[in-house]
Amino acid sequence: SPSPASAEHPASGPEIPGTPASPAGTREPPLGAIGTARPRIEGPAKVSGAVRYASDEPMSGVAHGWVVTSTVTRGRIRDIDTSVALAMPGVVGVIDHRNAPEVNLEAGSFFGPDGGMHLLQSAEIPHSGRPIALVVADTAEQARSAALALRVTYDEEPYDVDFHREHPAARPATSFFGEDATVGDVDEELAASTVVVDESYATPEEHGAAMEPHAATAWWEDGRLQIIDSNQGPFLVAMTVATLFRLDPKQVRVRSAHVGGGFGSKSGGCGPQLVLAVMATGMFDRPVRVTLTRNQVFQTVSMRPATDQRVRIGADADGRLRAIDHTAAFEVSKLAEYLENCTELTNTLYAARAIRTRRTAVPIDILPPYSLRGPGATPGSFALESAMDEVAERLGIDPLELRLRNEPSAGPVSGLPFSRRNLVACLKEGARRFGWTTRDHRPRRRTEGHLLVGTGMAAMSFGAGALPSSASITAEADGTFTVAIGASDIGTGARTALTAVAAEALRADPERIRLLIADSDLGPAWGAGGSRGTTSWSWAITETAARLRSRLDGATLPLTVSFDTTESLGELALLERHSYGAVFSEVTVDPATGEVRVRRLLGMFAVGRVVNPLLARSQLVGGMIMGLSMALHEEGVRDRASGRHVNADFAGYHIAAHADVPDIEADFVPDYEPGDPSGIKGVGEIGTVSAAAAIANAVWHATGRRQRTLPIRLDRVL
Ligand code: MOS
């Protein structure tokens, strides 16, 4: 059923002030396709098992590759004895650094060349779990037993997997998302403050843990490299493969019809499953499928880096902030640059006379971290929003009121105007629904039987906008439309949302839209990442539809129009554009065992116009569950004595289970993004951003004990 607020949420743009005329310049009313709760188009096929994920596609003659990973953390391979393996039944061959094709070492992600993708290029072992060989056989079982028969010897070298802020190798991080902030004089303002909170906050390595493990099938057909791969953006992956293997981009086709979650772990360049499958199909002249085991996903696919952050906030007695100083360190690999942009919220959420942010990268011997579930903002908000709660405590004021008193009128660092904010509406409406106003703000005041009860809140934002994408739309002779865009649906319902966007843009019933996605041949498109998938793809669809409609009168059908948004997105940089939200939590703590149970979570969000309230709410609830999981469970543990993951599976790496998930409410305040053709912003990651801080603040409220290190384990509560 639709979310409770969908009735009060306007179904179409023109009812909201500031809504532009329809893209084609007409004044016809839209059909209300946007704003209507519809279940996922592919839902029945998914629950009946009919859809095919990357490793499901039946294919004759396919060989299976089994990945072999390093058992040492740093050093060199001395020898890989393949003789036994090669003689085993069904074995097609073994690829290692001695026979692997050379790859282009310039290939990487947005942050630059990424050695994580340059597999089997040398005998060097840069981190534990590094893929060192692929064993290919007729069946996966044969490949696996042959992989176990490889005899690998190493020359080990000392390694450093010990991340901490004061590490000797610590250095300023890349300024990829803008420079560090220096506004006003932080030290002067701190000295003049009535209260100063100066605390450190730590978050561990966290893993994407998508339900579908990474898998790829690759084969050559008619001079083209054909790929079925589990990823978050088939066009971007195709470009990376072309660069990596020095192919003409036109030679590479990537399809990803259905993807069982990504959470960032399928967003960076191209995954090890695909690098190895492409190598193998080239060498053995057969289609090759590589599926990672769960353990291999943990070891070979990017994770969120651990962070160690110091926040200093100075405030006057009335709660006005004088200074925010946020110094965030995070681990990186020596193989690739990456920015965990922990200070994103610090630059934009609150007004203060002085704001200073510094980002520090600490290179150690680990596989390259990458974006995961609200990258930067999520660990960053844990620090900032916990520290804000500590400021409220020290001042003896309502933490909600503290936020309201520091609402900025323009970007506190950028000075740019906000496109739309509506954070205050989220805070106030969330507080009203949650029952925040009756809260006694002193800690350890509420009990129920032997349990301590507490509530906490946090504010949040996440960058919004659109990135270049292209679409083609064909008006068919039978009155239907074929809409083609290289989007991907990683389980979020993008198919359904984009069908609604296309229906509205074409003034057509959704039943008349045939949407083609998940294929790099459909043209350049951004991926399902950075919470910018729906905005980027919708922009392209809407602009293309407008151009098609203007040519339809008297046209001979079928008529196809294509458009690329690269040129239309220029002015986005001139505004502070973010999604916003406020999250409230209630927890119980057992003082005997330290067990924390989250009893309630409520989030109110300002995410622009909501394309599909059912799916958007689901996305936000999912994000809040990830925040809960981050708060209480998730922790990638690295053994200093071996350099390896201790808990590289779901037995050891805990994620929230159904029994952990309470009554969760997520809803929207009326909002509209004036700078977007459809009025929308992203809902992808905002839900997860500050949930952990809200829970940690509630645990303090219940117990009187601050939680500055995640996860909130039993031993940290007691
Ligand atoms: Mo998302 S973590 O930006 O793929």
CATH assignment at residue 521: 3.30.365.10
Question: Are 199 and 129 contained in the same domain?
Answer: no
H or E stretch including 584? strand 578-589
Give residue 188's domain range: 160-205+305-408
In the chain, what is the straight-line distance between the N-terminal and C-terminal CA atoms, in Å? 41
**What pLDDT score does 572 carry?**
63
Written as six digits, the tokens of 624 are: 């809040």
Model confidence at 11: pLDDT above 50? no
User: pLDDT above 90 covers what percent of the chain?
Assistant: 93
**Is the residue at 684 inside a domain?**
no
What is the best residue among 110, 259, 301, 372 to mutate for testing ligand 1's pocket, by most ligand atoms within 8 Å of CB?
372
Q: 39 C-alpha vs ligand 1 centroid, how far in Å? A: 24
Instruction: Tell me the CA–centroid distance for residue 542 and ligand 1, in Å.
Output: 24
Give the residue-averaged pLDDT of 528-542: 97
Look at residue 263 and tell me if it is in a domain: yes
pLDDT tens per residue across span 263-308: 999 998 899 999 999 999 999 999 999 999 999 999 999 999 999 9
E strands, 641-705, are 663-668
Q: Who lines ligand 1 at CB under 6 A?
A: 232, 262-264, 267, 371-373, 375, 529-530
Per the structure, the count of domains in the chain is: 3
The rounded mean pLDDT for the chain is 94
Closest residue CA from atom 3 of ligand 1: 530
Distance 252 CA to ligand 1 centre (A): 24
369 and 475 fall within a common domain: no
- Domain's final residue, options 361, 379, 408: 408
Cα 139 to ligand 1 centre (Å): 33
* Residue-level pLDDT at 446: 98
Cβ neighbours, 10 Å, residue 705:
15
Task: Report how far ligand 1's centroid is from the alpha carbon of 51 (Å).
Answer: 24
The pLDDT assigned to 567 comes to: 87
- The reported pLDDT for the residue numbered 268 is 82
Core vs surface per residue 232-247: b (16+ CB within 10 A) or e: bbbbbbbbbbbbbbeb
DSSP H stretches of helix in 435-579 = 494-506, 533-552
Q: Phi and psi of 422, rounded to 5°? A: 65, 20
Tell which atom from ligand 1 comes closest to the C-alpha of 530.
3
User: For residue 198, what are the CA distances in angstroms to 254, 412, 574, 691, 708?
Assistant: 49, 21, 33, 22, 12
Per-residue pLDDT tens over the stretch 424-446: 999 999 999 999 999 999 999 99
Residues 264 and 280: their CA atoms lie apart, in Å, by 26
Pair 259, 145 in one domain? yes
ipTM of the complex: 0.98
Q: Mean pLDDT, to the nearest integer, of 626-635?
A: 98
Mutation test of ligand 1: which of 489, 685, 686, 689 has the most ligand atoms closer than 8 Å to its C-beta? 685
Residue type, 400: L
Is 685 a catalytic site residue?
A: yes
Give the type of residue at 536: S
Does 471 fall in a domain?
A: yes
Residues 710, 202: contact at Cβ < 8 Å? yes
pLDDT, average across residues 549-569: 95
What is the DSSP code (8-state) at residue 236? H
Ligand 1 pocket test: pick from 110, 339, 371, 378 the residue with the most ligand atoms within 8 Å of its Cβ.
371
| Cis previous bond, 305, omega within 30 | no
Per the CB < 8 A criterion, the answer to whether 548 and 561 are in contact is: yes
Task: Please state whether the peptide bond connecting residue 375 to the residue before it is cis, i.e. omega within 30 degrees of 0.
Answer: no
Give the CATH number of the domain where residue 287 resides: 3.90.1170.50
| Domain end call among 569, 598, 628 | 569
- Ligand 1 atom at minimal distance to the Cα of residue 265: 4
Cα-based distances in Å from 37 to 1, 7, 41 = 8, 10, 12
What burial class does residue 59 get, using C-beta atoms within 10 Å of its C-beta: 0-12 exposed, 13-18 middle, 19+ buried? exposed
Whether 387 is in a domain gets the answer: yes
In a domain, 700, yes or no: no
Average of per-residue pLDDT across 4-10:
33
Residue-level pLDDT at 569 = 84
Cβ atoms within 10 Å of 658's Cβ, excluding its own: 6
Is 676 inside a domain boundary? no
Q: Supply the residue whose CA is at minimum distance from atom 4 of ligand 1.
A: 264
Q: Are residues 49 and 109 in the same domain?
A: no
The pLDDT tens digits for 192-215 are 999 999 999 999 999 999 999 999
Which tokens go with 94?
A: 């073994």
Quick one: pLDDT at residue 571?
Answer: 63
